[in-house]
Amino acid sequence: MKRLSVALLVSVLAFSAQAALADHFDISPFFQDGKLIAGGLSHNGERVSPPVSVFGYDFGESADDPFNPSDPGVNQAAGVGNLTAGDPIRYNILSSLLYWDGNGEVSFGAPTGETCLTLLMGSQSRTLTGTSGLQTGSLIQNVGTGGLVHKHFTASLCDAPEAENVPGEPGYIVPTAGIYAFSIELTLAHNGTTYVSEPLWIVFNNGLSEEQHDAAMQAVPEPASLCLLGAGAVALLRRRRAGC
């Protein structure tokens, strides 16, 4: 059980395997042994084998539009994931929006005020708040030729549902700094059967340190019980900030 952090390879406790790699990793779906599972795939072609269950990203990477990144991505190369052309891949939301302000030990709760995060996939959007709960998602993509999949969500963080989140626009309000997390699942319809992935956690950092981001990724709750992760192997992939 190992964890990769920048250039260092460090052993961790045997019940938890985590990988945080210095690149941008999309969710990479595989259909193996009758199961829909996820690995990681960077835009440089670097792969992390499944199962991966936690993916990390950052707000604030673009000075012009810091709170509307095109993350997470869902990405699989042709001929790799054993996916059948034409099969629809969809997503569902399994949790409300969780928040940690970075103080003390990691402790997730509801975000402050009316803070919300809207996920856009094509023309469809779903908004997460501290009380939004389970939501049926939408189509991500029908699998392309040879099993190709590549689509990106836009994740929009706003201080309130009607607040502007683009600098320079009238009514612009900077969303509160902290860690924002939520859980999704992928589904694949194949030969009349719908296959459902294990829960995947998306963990965004808004203005905290990389160490705090890592700590939050290790402590994401289970959707059903909101208990901290215990036994069982998980893998974590974090997108490092540009320049790091």
| Whole-number average pLDDT of the chain | 86
| Single pTM value for the model | 0.86
Tell me the per-residue pLDDT of 157-199, one tens digit each, with 9 for 90 and over.
Answer: 999 999 999 999 999 999 999 999 999 999 999 999 999 999 9
Residue 93 lies in a domain: yes
Kindly give the residue spans of alpha helices, DSSP state H, lying in the chain: 210-218
For residue 62, the one-letter residue type is: S
Averaged pLDDT for residues 32-38: 98
Residue 26 above 80 pLDDT?
A: yes
Closest CA relative to residue 212, chosen from 242, 178, 236:
178
Range of the domain at 231: 2-238
Q: Count up the domains in the chain and report the number.
A: 1
Residue 243 lies in a domain: no
Residue % of the chain over a pLDDT of 90: 78
Residue 244 lies in a domain: no
Query: Predicted confidence band at 222 (pLDDT cuts at 50, 70, 90)?
Result: low
Choice among 62-71, 166-175, 203-212, 213-222 with the minimum mean pLDDT: 213-222
Q: Can you give the pLDDT at residue 44?
A: 87
Q: Can you give the pLDDT at residue 224?
A: 43
Query: Which position has the higher pLDDT, 1 or 155?
Result: 155
Residue 35 lies in a domain: yes
The 3-class secondary structure across 90-136, one letter per residue, is EEEECCCCEEECCCCCCCCECCCCCCEEEEEECCEEEEECCCCCCEE
User: Environment class of residue 8 by beta-carbon count within 10 Å: exposed (0-12), middle (13-18) or buried (19+)?
Assistant: exposed
